[in-house]
Structure 1
Amino acid sequence: MTTPEVAIVMGVSGSGKTTLAQAVAAAWPATFLDADDFHSARARARMASGQPLTDRMRAPWVARIAADLGRRVDAGERVALAFSGLRRRHRDRLRATGLPLRFLFLQGDAPLIAARMSARRGHYMPVSLLDSQFATLEPPLDEDDVVAIPVGLPTAEQLRLALAALDASD
């Protein structure tokens, strides 16, 4: 595998994607992007009302992210992206860009993540959608460019594992 230029921190809502991706961006170094910023206002409103997005609704979102990643890497940037990546087809869409990337999968169980979601404030994703996130998740553990990182670890340990994965190349 080539040295990645894009680190994609993935997992269900509340797993700590933003926290870890920001830490990776600072330490690697890279530009931090949050995939949530690529959602339309309509998609955000739908999720805030407790309704999950359909795959059809997610497709243009993933396409916008892929295009932006391509522009940034072509301009010489490294990117650390916080992205749910719940479906393999969405991960494959980002892989189809041909960009050198690595997925960092924040893996954890629903009770731990629900507790984390309950403690955060000001996020549009309600805890009530966590079950739909787990139902949608197609775990990426058999995919060659994915490294699993436990949700329950302290951020500093997650970052150490993430940086080791990004520095490893075949």
Structure 2
Amino acid sequence: MPTLPHAIVVIGVAGSGKTTLASGLARHYGHVFLDADDFHSAQARAQMASGVPLDDAQREPWVAALARELRRLASLGQSSVLAFSALRAAHRQRLRESGVPMRFVFLRVPAASIATRLATRRDHYMPASLLASQFDALEPPVAEPDVITIAVDDDAPAQVLETAIAALDGT
């Protein structure tokens, strides 16, 4: 891992386990934890809660705010771990352009596993009905050298965390 302030960005569709993994990585490395969901406007949350996905134009200010926050933290000497869908290659590139050194961890989870998770999730604004739109928007990070892909099915969160740490540490 770099010694200068940097970011780890955990990416994937809704319900893939981004928040769980990102918070575990933040604890492990002593970094600031960020959840991209906290940066959505009230209007965007309401739209998604009503079952209408955001389009790329609506996502742009959100992605820009995330890039600004990564830069702000790095300027304070703080490394961070961000849970962020980053479904589009352009979103990942926008974060790279923030100037903050970063690595991405992509959680590749079968749609059936995610559907089961979303069906039981009660405290989130994103309804399970938007899962198809998440996969439709997903541009998998193929041939992006700063992305580690972790195939997850019904793995326990502790196992996913261990796998991610080993990959990030190069062991």
When residues 29 and 81 of structure 1 are mapped into structure 2, their CA distance, relative to the original with a 3 A threshold, is same
Determine the C-alpha separation between the residues in 2 that align with 1:60 and 1:86. 15
Aligned to 2:114: 113
Deviations 1:28-47 (A, max 9, x none): 12111000010000000000
Determine the C-alpha separation between the residues in 2 that align with 1:105 and 1:18. 12
Cα pair 1:7 1:166 within 8 Å, conserved? no
Deviations 1:46-86 (A, max 9, x none): 00000000100000000000001000011111101000000
Aligned to 2:160: 158
Aligned to 2:98, what secondary structure does the other structure show? coil
Aligned to 1:167: 169
* Stretches of 4+ aligned residues off by more than 6 angstroms: none
The one-letter code sitting in structure 2 at the alignment partner of 1:75 is L
Post-superposition offset of 1:168? 3.3
Determine the C-alpha separation between the residues in 1 that align with 2:167 and 2:60. 28
Aligned to 1:148, what secondary structure does the other structure show? strand
Cα pair 1:141 1:148 within 8 Å, conserved? no
Aligned to 2:78: 77
Q: Counterparts of 1:13-162 in structure 2 under 5 Å? A: 13-152=14-153, 153-162=155-164
Count of residues in Structure 1 that have an aligned counterpart in Structure 2: 169
Post-superposition offset of 1:92? 0.2
Q: TM-score, normalised by structure 2?
A: 0.94
When residues 109 and 81 of structure 1 are mapped into structure 2, their CA distance, relative to the original with a 3 A threshold, is same
Cα pair 1:13 1:130 within 8 Å, conserved? yes
The one-letter code sitting in structure 2 at the alignment partner of 1:108 is V
Identity, in percent, stands at: 55
Deviations 1:121-144 (A, max 9, x none): 110000000000000000003210
Post-superposition offset of 1:2? 5.5
Q: TM-score, normalised by structure 1?
A: 0.94
The one-letter code sitting in structure 2 at the alignment partner of 1:90 is H
Gaps (5+ residues) in structure 2? none
Aligned to 2:93, what secondary structure does the other structure show? helix
Aligned to 2:14, what secondary structure does the other structure show? coil
Determine the C-alpha separation between the residues in 2 that align with 1:164 and 1:93. 26
